[in-house]
Chain A
């Protein structure tokens, strides 16, 4: 066993004090601020460095001394000089509990932004968009709207309780519908799917769906029934 211990030590030295298991990670970014939105949900504001992204893309983020990363949609605007992600602590999650323990001035590992859940640049400027989110699935839409203030959109945000509206001030009041399923404090008392069944936005709109898979499947069915082409439906599943 002594031989193995010595070898492991050498392996760590070879990799510049970062455990070899961590070498897949690309860069450490400083945490500039943490905003708690609920007991379990918070916004991590982190150094952007040279990372450019397109609204709707995601980054893999993890604690500096851990071995795991997870994908988080970028919450901030393309033009901001920092990067923000919206994190909800998942019980027994691989990454979010560790992120929650971090503090301002600490570091996170951030990999290059990637992803395809973006606004199609070939669509006309006045294109109607319907954004449908559940929970922290609001994150890419927050980035869309802050990055492109002239977007013609309606945002349906499905949550259990109104406190999960997560900085809804970023959206135009008339374009934002908070659907609360467990209380009547939102704009609509019920699920986003219930709202959508009675409020059609037409076949020409482009629908962006982000959140849990069940919500996305249900919305997909409703849109199909309403005659929306699958070409106009874009989905980003949160796991």
Chain B
């Protein structure tokens, strides 16, 4: 029995896919790269973009055609809007919420496949279901880079986003499980660990005082780093500016293993747009948080997410976003043109910024980003940085790596045994979004 899994969307889905693979392999299924060779095919859907949902419909149409000549079971999970879920029930053999993953073998057995795994849990509420889901051991996709889900769901209800309707309310994973998973990964030699959640820094709030706060969780992880002889970097994504307190930044500053890279989505640099987006923070509040980061961790790199052309966004409001981008000197911004998502509150609002204008705003903002990011990169010249080698580079004879601050660095080497290792590289040239360097043995590190 062979299986194939298509994973769409964000790192949370990537992380979930590691647990799905573990469950499938626990049932005796073997991975195949070729979906035409699989008897079980699944897809982890993403509802953030219509394009991703369109891909699901295209895939399942093809798979269902194959059923005429082949024994095939299809399933779907991930971020699915209720309206899509209703349609998928008619198209897929099994449709389940990710929190129901532990019951997946049971669902499969009801389709005539005997599996060695069986669970007796029933009558569970979503919080209980999530606790069983997190107990499923993931089959990590990488031997040096891992993602640890610490929370599921979202309570923020940003008007452009459908996640609160696909993943439900925030549920925090027990801290001891997270700490144990970090310890286990560090012992196995993992170099990059990312804590995942829709709003990681509201971690624990749903437990109303009966769980560590996010800063306390980071502190416990920081202690693991202090006690370990291994070098590793712990990241988190995504935090919400509303809940990003000084306590979190202080802990990051205190522990070497907590990576000095912060992803802080701003979405817009205009207060009125932020209100309409239901972001629950002002530019002033965001500015205060960035000031704390610059004060306590001056070497930290700053990443963000921005939406251009949100419903009703005026030229003046867009210009405020440009000002914000320049003021906060981001190293990277993931800039998206606004598009309506069924299920999100803004779906009923006019998508009234012309596509041409959206594209222009995207270009302008990208140019601004290139300027500020490039300026940072040029300051790296001549300095030596520790980098995690991640893969071979597109440029032949080079390896691709990232600094602790997630600046992409490539250097000449064909030694693939370096992949997954932290090495030292001296920066020799810089462009706007990456730098190039040469491998050095011993160095004075900047980061």
Contact = CB atoms under 8 A, between A and B. Distances in A.
Interface of A: 3-4, 7-8, 10-11, 14, 16, 19-24, 26-27, 60, 67-69, 71, 111-112, 114-116, 213, 216-217, 220, 230-231, 235, 237, 239
B280 A230 contact: no
Given A68-B82, A235-B275, A111 B168 contact: yes
8 contacts: A4-B90, A7-B93, A7-B111, A22-B82, A114-B169, A213-B276, A220-B272, A231-B285
B169 A112 contact: yes
Nearest to B283: A230
Nearest to B94: A11
For A22, A23, A24, A220, the residue with the greatest tally of chain B CB atoms inside 10 Å of its CB is: A24
A217 B97 CA distance: 38
Contacts of B95: 11, 20-21
Nearest to B91: A4
B169 A67 contact: no
A220 B110 contact: no
Contact of B100 (A23, A111, A213, A220): A23
Given A115-B155, A220-B272, A237-B276, A230 B89 contact: no
A239 B161 CA distance: 13
B93 A67 contact: no
Contact of A217 (B100, B155, B275, B278): B275
A231 B89 contact: no
B423 to A, nearest CB: 45
Given A67-B82, A230-B282, A237-B159, A26 B126 contact: yes
Contacts of A237: 159, 275-276, 278
Main DSSP-derived SS at the B contact region: helix
Interface in B83-111: 83, 85-86, 89-91, 93-97, 100, 103, 106-107, 110-111
B433 interface: no
B132 interface: no
B168 to A, nearest CB: 5
Given A14-B110, A112-B169, A237-B278, A217 B90 contact: no
Nearest to A57: B155
Contact of B85 (A26, A27, A67): A67
A157 B46 CA distance: 40
A67 B81 CA distance: 9
A11 B168 contact: no
Main DSSP-derived SS at the A contact region: mixed
Given A16-B123, A71-B157, 16 more contacts: A3-B67, A4-B90, A4-B91, A7-B93, A7-B94, A14-B103, A23-B97, A26-B168, A67-B83, A111-B168, A213-B276, A230-B271, A235-B275, A237-B276, A237-B278, A239-B348
Contacts of B159: 237, 239
A14 B89 contact: no
A214 to B, nearest CB: 9
Contacts of B276: 213, 217, 237
Contact of A24 (B83, B111, B126): B126
B165 interface: yes
Contacts of B348: 239
* Nearest 3 pairs of A and B residues by beta carbon: A67-B82, A114-B155, A239-B345
Contacts of A217: 272, 275-276
Contacts of B111: 7, 10
Contacts of A21: 82, 85-86, 89, 95
Contacts of A230: 271, 282, 284-285
Nearest to A7: B93
B131 to A, nearest CB: 15
A4 B111 CA distance: 12
Contact of B165 (A16, A23, A69): A69
For B82, B284, B285, the residue with the greatest tally of chain A CB atoms inside 10 Å of its CB is: B82
Contacts of B123: 16
B12 to A, nearest CB: 16
Contacts of B170: 114
A212 to B, nearest CB: 11
A94 to B, nearest CB: 9
Contacts of B164: 60
A213 B89 contact: no
A231 B281 CA distance: 9
A116 B157 CA distance: 11
B349 to A, nearest CB: 8
Given A67-B82, A111-B168, A216 B275 contact: yes
A24 B90 contact: no
A225 to B, nearest CB: 14
Nearest to A116: B280
B242 interface: yes
B114 to A, nearest CB: 16
Given A69-B165, A239-B345, A231 B284 contact: yes
B77 to A, nearest CB: 11
Contacts of A216: 275
Interface in B366-414: none
Contact of A116 (B97, B100, B242, B345): B242
A138 B285 CA distance: 26
A71 B93 CA distance: 32
A4 B97 CA distance: 19
Nearest to B93: A7
A20 to B, nearest CB: 5
B229 interface: no
B272 to A, nearest CB: 5
A26 B107 CA distance: 21
Contacts of B157: 71
Contacts of B284: 230-231
B125 to A, nearest CB: 6
